[in-house]
Amino acid sequence: MLKRTTIELDEELLARAKQALGQPTTRATVEEALRRATESAQREFDERRERQLRYFETLDEHLDLEVLASDEMWR
């Protein structure tokens, strides 16, 4: 799905982005920048999720179930 929109862009920044991303047009540059931003955000989310899962797998090493089950713990 495409959406037509009008935005103001810093021309110098756009020229630098075109060169950095190797894109010939404004549209291609914006689309590539959006694609890279979303892919980067997804990678960061996936990496954070994997770290959390690895941590959860080691929780039994960090917990003392006897302490948690004791009455003293909940006073």
Using a cut of 0.75, tell me whether the model's pTM lies above it: no
Per residue in 15-71, pLDDT (tens digit) is 999 999 999 999 999 999 999 999 999 999 999 999 999 999 998 888 888 887 888
- The tokens for 68 are 């948690």
Query: What is the distance between the alpha carbons of residues 56 and 50, in angstroms, rounded to a whole number?
Result: 10
Write down the pLDDT at residue 32.
98
In the chain, the amino acid numbered 25 is T
